[in-house]
Amino acid sequence: MAAPPHTSPAATPLEGFLPVDPETEAAVRVEGGKLLELMDAHPAPGILSRKGAYARLMDWSMQDPAFKTQLFRFVDVLPSLDSPADVIRHLREYLGDKAVELSPALRTGLAAASLAPGLAAGAVRAQITDLARQFVAGETPADLVRQLLRNAEAGRATTIDLLGETVVSAAEADAFLQRNLEILDTIAAALARDPSPAFSDLGPAGPLPRLNLSVKISALTPDVHPADPDRSIAALKERLRPILRRAGAVGAFINFDMESYRLKDLTLALFRSILEEEEFRAQPAAGIALQAYLRDCERDLRGLIAWARQTRRPLAVRLVKGAYWEHETIFARQRGWPVPVWSRKPESDAGYEKLTCLLLDHADLVAPAFATHNVRSCAHALVQAARRGLDPRAIEFQALYGMADDLKAALIQTGHRVREYCAVGALLPGMAYLVRRLLENTSNESFLRRKNQGGATADQLLENPVTTLARSSGDATPPGRHSLGEGGPSRVGRPAVPDFRNAPTTDFTVAANRERQRAALDRLNGRLGRKWPLVIGGRPVADREYIASTNPAHPEQVVGHWARGTVADADAAVAAGLAAFPAWRATPPEERARIVERAGDLMEARRFELNAYLILESGKPWMEADGDISEAIDFCRFYAAEMRRLARPVVTQGVPGERCVQVWTPRGVGVAIAPWNFPLAILTGLTVAPLVAGNCVIIKPARQTSVIGAQLMAVLTEAGVPPGVLAFLPCFGSDAGARLVSHPGLAFYAFTGSRAVGCGIWEAAGRTPPGQAHLKKVVCEMGGKNALIIDTDADLDEAIPAALASAFGYAGQKCSALSRLIVLDGAYDRFVPRFLAACASLPVGDPAEPGTVVNPVIDDAARRSILGSIDQGRREARLAWQAALPPELAASGGHYVPPTVFTEVRPEQVIAREEIFGPVVAILRARDLDEAIAWANDCDYALTGGLFSRSPAALERAARELACGNVYLNRGITGAVVERHPFGGYKMSGGGTKAGGREYLQHFMNPRVIAENTVRRGFTPPEE
């Protein structure tokens, strides 16, 4: 069996924290005590120590987690609200929530706000702006210059951070680059006029660069794809080089900030790779932030030090704990990946201390900067530096603007260098930053909160984190201690169905996983063209006509040949199934469940190989293919768990003297008819659900992906499905397929596919010819014309990437894909130009390349049909954007369709009503939410749909009124996950059945009730 695919760096163990050394502890208490005393002597106005409205707000939010969540959500949405009425409406919606308790003062304020919205909205906006000003050093370069000079006067050095984190288009990244260049020029000019460096600008060997800029790489390109680091690094370098060049010219220092874990390896690789370029070997001076809350931080720091020694490149490391703890925890848990951060706060602190020592050991080449507001962490660094005999100026402390001013002053007073991290920029992009700071300040575990609000003693504040850990229980994540436990998702990691957990997808940011995928592709490329026979009654049937199945990106490449089933084969498959049915029905459900689970395990073991089949035969990009495999595995495991549940008889009535139970019995023999777009997942779901329920199944895969169908047959056979229970019958709909649809011996059809075929099956199955003594069951999933509504207050940084992924992932060939974007008038001018610009960054290409998002469509017929729809759109609406396909793609013969967006679409137009199944989006402009919901619902289909909004009332309304089987709020509308999002629609989207849901299996069984009179001459058995 292959090794598990999720070789995660998060599993790399730290070699244990530093042992507690009494001598060091005593010294830390002295140093820390000194700092605390100085801080108490000169208390600085921090956010928690301020008086008045803020203090009351922060106090209340720390007492009531529900209030805190709502308040921070309100802060987050505020900059996008245009009118006073909007501000007050949101305020009421958030703070009027029943779960939120308001202090009497806040309650009065809220009531008064409704009476004079104009006045109140202005006041609220002013308050929040003021709050933001606590953390943001200014909006303009001139503000920054002033702050720099103020810092210098106080002895502090400065590092500059330009706010603005999410860029969705090249134009936005260019603008960000330009702002960085401008700030370098402006500040360099200002500093040239003022030659006196601050106390903290002098290092052990003389002056340090006074101009110090912190850069976040996510703002440098929209084209970051962690699964494709080479391409991402190339794109990032395009905008990083000009910054480094300018920094070199003006003598500035550039620091790479560290963001989410997803980008960590990429950031490290970029840092090394660009600084190895000839032109940047010597300058500019550069550094990088490392996050001690990551379990693999030690490995990264050691790697960086080794690299610096090897290349003789001096650098600086800013050691932080990490600002994305909640995000990392939720992100990993949602995906079933190992959580990369420590789960207990003192672990991060202890990790920080260990890494402090490692850094100090290499201070000759790697300049250590300790970015923390924690006095214990600072005191420990001071003690360890002194123990190593380091010049006090060899180490730097860093702190954020607006926070821990008393600590900054105390450190400078004791002769240590301090650099202030000054965020500058407009309020809107600053909100994410502000919310992060508010969370940090109000978190139960934050040092600042414990010091300023918690009443902790100096001894408690200065306790060694290893001692704290030893004292605490073994519970890795005590509930309720962090915001995750405070109104966060209550079901994190807890399966609703016992014994079932979703199969994690592969983390392609891990290099080993990328290598395994490449190797699997190479292996499959070396053995393409095999012949795949039919399988009937457990025997291969090979002497048939063979049909070639080709690669959509390279149609000349034959992935394999499949035997074409005939009408006689269809009859034979039904007969074999009917013969096998009694024994399979009698097989204990537990045994059937185990066989199906084993199939899931086999798929997991063959994951990379199966991915390769999907990439080559269905044209799925890596991550889409991998998601398909996970879903297939989920179906196996979930339906197995469901069968165990349903196998337990249900006692239906409790009257004395009668025992009534309901049991389920399988229907008979049926057909699984699957589409090519989820060639393994849907085919598996349609097959294993009836199979585990005790039915026999004829597998009819889509013609375009029958080689993948053959893999499923092989897996199920290897898992132990007895001969005859399954038949593998790829065939054409016109003959053998038609025979299956009308066959009187069949009991059910499990179908997913087009509306035309689905309706045909539904109708045919309704006929009961003479000799057929049963009604057929049809489980039918068809298409969609799915709409996503963008509200006026939507978070566009979130909505745009979600809309792109929903519309263009797998080239829009998903029944759930976004096809109509309904944008409210108030958001239109902000959303549409950004969305169109973002479309231009979509990587279109061969799915064998890991960074591809938009692949070729499945075949030439599909391509021609989609191009026809595009022509229709041109006649009806305005072609707002269409990708220009690179010449090499056009010349490759692949079935590429340029992603296309139409604007000025009216709801009655064909382009807004008919399913396209390709990378085409129609944008409609709606007056308000009423109109948007009416348009979304005015459609033959009811599959997926969603809303991006930050209005709780609008979200509630969408949940109630959007007519779709799957409603998605503030997220993309594709990517349903088994058990979490049972999937399926109604109207012309399907029969209302939910794949991956708790009622699904029952469709393949008949309920039976057994009522037994247990009374014998007046007495009943004792258990009654």
Ligand X SMILES: Cc1cc2nc3c(=O)[nH]c(=O)nc-3n(C[C@H](O)[C@H](O)[C@H](O)COP(=O)(O)OP(=O)(O)OC[C@H]3O[C@@H](n4cnc5c(N)ncnc54)[C@H](O)[C@@H]3O)c2cc1C
Name the residues that contact ligand X, by CB under 6 A. 257-258, 289, 291, 293, 320-325, 341-345, 347-349, 371-374, 377, 398-400, 421, 440, 445-447, 482
Are the CB atoms for 924 and 931 separated by under 8 Å? no
The residue among 443 and 505 lying less far from ligand X, judged by its C-beta, is 443
Query: Measured from the CB of residue 394, what is the shortest distance to ligand X in angstroms?
Result: 18
SS3 sequence of 661-672: EEEEEECCEEEE
Expressed in percent and rounded to 5, the helix, strand and coil fractions of the chain are 50, 15, 35
Amino acid at 218: S
Query: Measured from the CB of residue 289, what is the shortest distance to ligand X in angstroms?
Result: 3
Q: Is 781 a catalytic residue?
A: yes
The residue among 340 and 990 lying less far from ligand X, judged by its C-beta, is 340
The residue among 252 and 672 lying less far from ligand X, judged by its C-beta, is 252
Query: Measured from the CB of residue 139, what is the shortest distance to ligand X in angstroms?
Result: 20
Query: Measured from the CB of residue 9, what is the shortest distance to ligand X in angstroms?
Result: 17
- Helix (H) or strand (E) segment spanning residue 880: strand 878-882
- Helix (H) or strand (E) segment spanning residue 1013: strand 1005-1013
CA atoms of 622 and 292, how far apart (whole Å): 31
Residue given tokens 């009308």 in the structure block: 742
Greatest alpha-carbon pair distance for the chain in Å reads 110
The torsion angle over the Cα atoms of residues 870, 873, 879 and 884, rounded to 10 degrees, is 0
CA atoms of 384 and 194, how far apart (whole Å): 35
Query: Measured from the CB of residue 1007, what is the shortest distance to ligand X in angstroms?
Result: 48
Query: Measured from the CB of residue 263, what is the shortest distance to ligand X in angstroms?
Result: 11
Are the CB atoms for 792 and 827 separated by under 8 Å? yes
Instruction: Please state the separation of Cα 225 from the chain's center in Å.
Output: 13
Q: Which of 422, 731, 815, 939 is catalytic?
A: 815
Query: Measured from the CB of residue 550, what is the shortest distance to ligand X in angstroms?
Result: 47
* Structure-token pair, residue 730: 């790829």
* Residues in CB range of 550: below 8 A, 6 or more apart: 556, 557, 558, 559
SS3 sequence of 47-74: CCCCCCHHHHHHHHHHHCHHHHHHHHHH
The residue among 442 and 502 lying less far from ligand X, judged by its C-beta, is 442
Are the CB atoms for 474 and 340 separated by under 8 Å? no
Amino acid at 578: L
Query: Measured from the CB of residue 487, what is the shortest distance to ligand X in angstroms?
Result: 16
Q: Which of 172, 259, 298, 781 is catalytic?
A: 781
The residue among 68 and 345 lying less far from ligand X, judged by its C-beta, is 345
The residue among 258 and 270 lying less far from ligand X, judged by its C-beta, is 258
Query: Measured from the CB of residue 448, what is the shortest distance to ligand X in angstroms?
Result: 6
The residue among 187 and 371 lying less far from ligand X, judged by its C-beta, is 371
Query: Measured from the CB of residue 436, what is the shortest distance to ligand X in angstroms?
Result: 8
Are the CB atoms for 894 and 553 separated by under 8 Å? yes
Query: Measured from the CB of residue 478, what is the shortest distance to ligand X in angstroms?
Result: 9
**Residue 108: which region, alpha, beta or left (left: phi > 0; alpha: psi -120 to 50)?**
alpha
- Of the candidates 402, 447, 433, 434, the one whose C-alpha atom is nearest the C-alpha of residue 420 is 402
If DSSP codes are grouped into helix, strand and coil, which group holds residue 427? helix
Angle of CA points 346, 347, 349, to nearest 5°: 60
The residue among 344 and 416 lying less far from ligand X, judged by its C-beta, is 344
Query: Measured from the CB of residue 255, what is the shortest distance to ligand X in angstroms?
Result: 8
The residue among 293 and 1004 lying less far from ligand X, judged by its C-beta, is 293
Query: Measured from the CB of residue 156, what is the shortest distance to ligand X in angstroms?
Result: 11
The residue among 342 and 508 lying less far from ligand X, judged by its C-beta, is 342
- Helix (H) or strand (E) segment spanning residue 181: helix 170-193
* Structure-token pair, residue 719: 């898992």
- Of the candidates 343, 356, 342, the one whose C-alpha atom is nearest the C-alpha of residue 293 is 342
If DSSP codes are grouped into helix, strand and coil, which group holds residue 469? helix
* Residues in CB range of 704: below 8 A, 6 or more apart: 549, 617, 618, 676, 679, 858, 859
Angle of CA points 307, 313, 314, to nearest 5°: 110
The residue among 440 and 626 lying less far from ligand X, judged by its C-beta, is 440
Strand ranges (E), 614-714: 650-653, 658-666, 669-673, 696-700
The residue among 304 and 323 lying less far from ligand X, judged by its C-beta, is 323
- Of the candidates 443, 327, 333, 433, the one whose C-alpha atom is nearest the C-alpha of residue 69 is 443
- Of the candidates 297, 171, 292, 285, the one whose C-alpha atom is nearest the C-alpha of residue 222 is 171
How are strands ordered across the β-sheet holding 900-903? Answer: 878-882, 900-903, 920-926, 818-824, 786-790, 944-948, 966-969
- Of the candidates 298, 354, 323, 292, the one whose C-alpha atom is nearest the C-alpha of residue 446 is 323
CA distances from 905 to 319, 839, 910 (A): 52, 18, 9
Are the CB atoms for 811 and 918 separated by under 8 Å? yes
The residue among 480 and 766 lying less far from ligand X, judged by its C-beta, is 480
**Which of the residues are catalytic?**
781, 815
